[in-house]
C-alpha cells in the first residue's frame, strides 16, 4: 500500500536525511521524499499497521531533523 503525506522541512539535505530515516523504519518498504513538492510517499510492507508505522517514521525523522513536520 502506498500513501502520500505532506511534509514541512527547510533544507534539501534534511529532506534526503528524512527519506533515509523513513526507509529504515520497520514496516516501510520504500519511501521517496520530494523536497520540491514537499511530499513524502511511503510504500508500506504488506499487512503493516499504518498508524503505528507512521508514529515511528515521525519519531525517526525528528531524530535526524528536529525541525521537520509530517502532516498525517
Contact 63, 34 (CB under 8 A): no
- Choice between 15 and 54, CB closer to other proteins: 15
Rounded (5°) CA angle 58-60-63 = 110
Nearest distance, CB of residue 39 and other proteins, angstroms: 7
Nearest distance, CB of residue 15 and other proteins, angstroms: 9
- Choice between 49 and 59, CB closer to other proteins: 59
Nearest distance, CB of residue 5 and other proteins, angstroms: 12
Which stretches of the chain bind other proteins, using CB under 8 A? 10-14, 16-17, 19-20, 32, 34-39, 41, 63-67
Q: Count of alpha carbons within 13 Å of 11, Cβ hemisphere only?
A: 7
Amino acid at each position: 500500500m502506498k500513501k502520500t503525506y505532506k511534509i514541512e522541512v527547510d533544507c534539501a539535505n534534511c529532506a534526503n536525511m528524512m527519506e533515509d530515516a523513513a526507509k529504515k523504519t520497520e514496516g516501510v518498504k520504500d519511501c521517496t521524499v520530494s523536497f520540491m513538492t514537499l511530499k513524502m510517499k511511503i510504500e508500506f510492507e504488506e499487512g503493516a499497521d499504518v498508524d503505528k508505522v507512521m508514529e515511528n517514521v515521525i519519531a525517526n525523522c525528528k531524530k535526524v531533523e528536529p525541525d521537520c513536520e509530517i502532516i498525517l
